[in-house]
Amino acid sequence: MSTQAAPAPPAVVRHEAFGVGPVPPRTFVHVGADPVSVEFVEGLTEVQVDVAPGAVFEAGVPYERLLRLVRGAAIGGGTESPEGLRAYLLSTTEVTFSSFDNRLVVRSPQRGAVRFGTVALTVRAPAGGELVVRGDVVRLQVTGTAGAIRVKARRGDVSAASAHSVDLRLGQGRASLGTVHGAVVADLHGASLDVADLAGAAEVVSSRGTVALTLRSGGAVELALATDGAVDVSDLPPVLRTPSPEDGTQSPDRPAARRICVVSSTGDVRVSRRGTPEPAPGEPDLP
């Protein structure tokens, strides 16, 4: 049965807001295939969530009545029409905030194998907060400066402007990261990764996706690469390796090296350096 996604018409957005304390809250988002936009805003004293109608998956003409009957039986009365389904998705999206553990949770109602539509989620939170996003298909855009970002998805398209650390688990897709002030850990399978400014260590495992890391200038680096794909380190200055125990004790005048490790089956790997160092902001007080 072929289906197509019908874009949502303009509609009233469901809006939720919760006051927060001085510590940035942790944000957890669980989705099926819903697009997610997260904005980390300096000086914000609350967390805000907007839920807007997304796409409704409609069948071709021969199956239109069957699909409406199926989703009406699976979800409930009134959802046979696109308008009824959008109203259902808006009202059943879970948005909760717990002041006890300083945690915001947003759950899309369409997380199972059978999905009939999506919602568009927009979250605004104080800068420096932790973000965890999980789902089958994750389409995530992060602006502002986040604390730790963790994403786990079968397929994903992840974009983040700035974070203190990033942990990615992607089966397929791509991740594009701007500035990462700490470490990047990634298990990518077939996904690709591009980091424009990496100040910390990196541990990346990929089956066939392209991995491109641009290191912030300054500091010693221990580089370990293993792939059957192309490797490009042509513009990387001489790399200082951390001495092994057999080499003797490291000199106290020599700074500790950050480790950049990329293991890939067939993916291409590129490691380069930035020309101008960029200072990292203060570390967030995460719970």
> Tens digits of per-residue pLDDT, 90-140?
888 999 999 999 999 999 886 554 567 789 999 999 999 999 999 999 999
What angle do helix axes 82-92 and 64-75 make, rounded to 10 degrees? Answer: 30
Two tokens, residue 85: 């389904």
Report whether 123 contacts 38 (CB < 8 A). yes
- Going by the DSSP 8-state scheme, the letter that residue 100 receives in this structure is T
What's the CA gap between 38 and 204, in Å, rounded?
24
Angle, vertex CA 177, rays to CA 280 and CA 149, nearest 5: 75
Provide the whole-model pTM: 0.83
Rounded average pLDDT over 244-257: 57
Choice among 79-93, 96-110, 188-202 with the minimum mean pLDDT: 79-93
Give per-residue pLDDT as tens, 140-170: 999 999 999 999 999 999 999 999 999 999 9
Q: Mark residue 121 as left, alpha or beta (left: phi above 0; alpha: psi -120 to 50; beta: remaining).
A: beta
Closest to 177 in 3D by CA, of 157, 191, 161: 161
Helix (H, G, I), strand (E, B) or coil at 62: helix
Give per-residue pLDDT as tens, 10-35: 455 899 999 999 999 999 999 988 99
